[in-house]
Amino acid sequence: MPSDSSLGFNQLVATPNGPFLVNRNDQYVGRSWIEYGEFSEEEGKFLDDLISPGDIVLEVGANMGSHTVRMARKVEHGRVIAFEPQRLIFQLLCANVALASLKNVECHWAALGAKRGGIEVPELDPDEPNNFGALSLNLGEAGQKVPCYTADEIFVLPRLDLIKIDVEGMEAEVIIGASRLIKEHQPLLYVENDRIDHSENLMRIIDSMGYAMYWHTPPLFSLDNPAHKEEDIFGSIASCNMFCAPKHMQQHIDIPKIENFTENPLKPCQVQAA
C-alpha cells in the first residue's frame, strides 16, 4: 500500500453503490475498498438479513462506515446510531454518510462503555500502513481524550432492533452499559469476539441476559466482488463474530451454536478485526 504522504492518505473509491472515502494506507478495510469496491460482503449480507425498514440500529465501533451506510439504506426510514472514537476514522465515517446523502444516520465521535468518563485514544499515523480498525482502547496508552458514555444513560428509544459491536476487546463493557436497553427492547446482537482473554467473560455476560449465541466467521474476501478480481489478497483471513438472539425467539439459525463458553474458533480462523 502507498505510504507517500504526497499522495494524501485519503482516497475516493468509485463503487457500484456510489463513492466511498477511505484511508489508502488502511491494510484491511481501506485496501478492500480500493481493490474490490467492497468490504466484507458476507458480513454485510448477514447484517442485511437481520434488519428491516423502520428498524433502529446501534453500531458501536463504526470505523469508516462500511456497514453503517449499508444498514442505513436497508432500514430506510429507520435510524442508525453510529459511534467511532478515532478522530480521523470518524471523519471518514461522516464523509461516507454525507456522500451517500443519508438522513437517517447519527454519527458520534465518542466511545461507549460500562461507565461514563473519558478514554484515551492513541492517534495512529494516517500516512503509514496500519490496521486502523484493530486499535484497542483498553491498554492504557496515551492519546487524545474522547468522551465515553453508557448507552443506557444517553438513549431513550422507542425501539432497538440490532446492536452491532466491534470495539477490540471492550465488547463486554459496551453490553454492560447497554443492559437496560437490552432488557427493554431485546435487540439482536452482532458482537465481535476475537480476544481469547476476554471471550469467556463476554459470552457469560450475554448468556446471563437470556441470549443464545452463534459463531459467524465471514471472510474478508468475496469472489463475487464488483471489481471481478479472483485473487484473495487477504489469504483466508476472516472476522470472528457472534450472532446473539433472545433464547425465546423461535427461528431457524444455520450457523454453529455456542455451547461451550471456553471455546473460540480463533486458531482455525485467521481473525482480523475490521
Predicted local confidence at residue 269, as pLDDT: 46
Q: Is residue 10 a part of any domain in this protein?
A: yes
Q: Is residue 254 a part of any domain in this protein?
A: no
Q: Give yes or no for residue 268 having a pLDDT over 70.
A: no
217 band by pLDDT with thresholds 50, 70 and 90 = very high
Mean pLDDT, range 20-29, rounded to an integer: 95
- Tell me the C-alpha to C-alpha distance, in Å, between residue 259 and each of 74, 89, 171, 264, 268: 32, 36, 20, 11, 18
Q: Is residue 266 a part of any domain in this protein?
A: no
Predicted local confidence at residue 142, as pLDDT: 73
Predicted local confidence at residue 271, as pLDDT: 45
Rg (CA), the chain: 18
Quick one: what percent of the chain has pLDDT higher than 70? 90
The closest of 154, 156, 155, 176 to 165, measured between CA atoms, is: 176
Mean pLDDT, range 54-67, rounded to an integer: 97
- At 206, list the grid cell: 450475554
Mean pLDDT, range 111-133, rounded to an integer: 85
If one counts every other C-beta atom within 10 angstroms of the C-beta of residue 255, the result is 12
pLDDT higher at 134 or 54: 54
Rounded Cα distance between 173 and 74, Å, is 28
Q: 13-22, 98-107, 132-141, 234-243: which range is least confident on average?
A: 132-141
Q: Is residue 68 a part of any domain in this protein?
A: yes
Predicted local confidence at residue 138, as pLDDT: 61
pLDDT higher at 221 or 168: 221
226 band by pLDDT with thresholds 50, 70 and 90 = very high
Q: Give yes or no for residue 252 having a pLDDT over 50.
A: yes
Residue in the block written with cell 474522547: 146
| Burial tier of 145 (Cβ tally within 10 Å: 0-12, 13-18, 19+) | exposed
Predicted local confidence at residue 250, as pLDDT: 67
Q: Give yes or no for residue 117 having a pLDDT over 50.
A: yes
39 band by pLDDT with thresholds 50, 70 and 90 = very high
Q: Is residue 258 a part of any domain in this protein?
A: no
pLDDT higher at 136 or 13: 13
CATH of the domain at 39: 3.40.50.150
Mean pLDDT, range 170-182, rounded to an integer: 97
Q: Is residue 271 a part of any domain in this protein?
A: no
Instruction: Tell me the pLDDT of the chain averaged across its residues.
Output: 91
Q: Is residue 146 a part of any domain in this protein?
A: yes
Q: Give yes or no for residue 267 having a pLDDT over 70.
A: no
Domains contained in the chain, number: 1
State whether residue 66 is helix, strand or coil. Answer: helix
Q: Is residue 255 a part of any domain in this protein?
A: no
Predicted local confidence at residue 169, as pLDDT: 85
Predicted local confidence at residue 1, as pLDDT: 41
State the residue range of the domain holding 48.
5-246
Q: Give yes or no for residue 232 having a pLDDT over 50.
A: yes
